[in-house]
Amino acid sequence: MHDLTSPGWRWRGLGRSMLQALPVAVLLALLPGPAWVHVAVPALLLSSVAFVSAAYADDLRDRRLAQHGLPVPEREPPPRGF
């Protein structure tokens, strides 16, 4: 529960996602091709993983808490007009 409720839980979630994508990024960097592809493809993968992880952090945390039978914190509704 500490991992999902203490300060810094978003950073730990982002780090966990990046760590899981890192081996795939390394393999993509080793594929044959021009030098810019060796940098651009892994960078695109890691930036995509970071975006999705940050965008869905609350939902992923809520799912993990509910999965273990722990209380899910209430969220404020979004402001009107969104």
* 73 domain residue, yes or no: no
Per-residue pLDDT of the chain (82 residues; tens, 9 = 90+): 677 777 888 899 899 999 999 999 999 999 999 999 999 999 999 999 999 999 998 888 888 888 888 888 887 777 787 6
Q: What is the pLDDT of residue 69?
A: 87
Q: Where are the beta strands (DSSP E) in the chain?
A: none
Q: Is residue 79 part of a domain?
A: no
pTM of the full structure: 0.77
Ranges of H-type helices in the chain: 2-5, 9-29, 35-55, 57-67
Residue 75 inside a domain? The answer is no
Q: Is residue 72 part of a domain?
A: no
How many structural domains compose the chain? 1
Give pLDDT, residue 82.
Answer: 60
Q: Domain of 54?
A: 2-67
Residue 80 included in any domain: no
The answer as to whether 12 is a domain residue is: yes
> Quick check: is 61 in a domain?
yes
pLDDT of 4 reads: 77
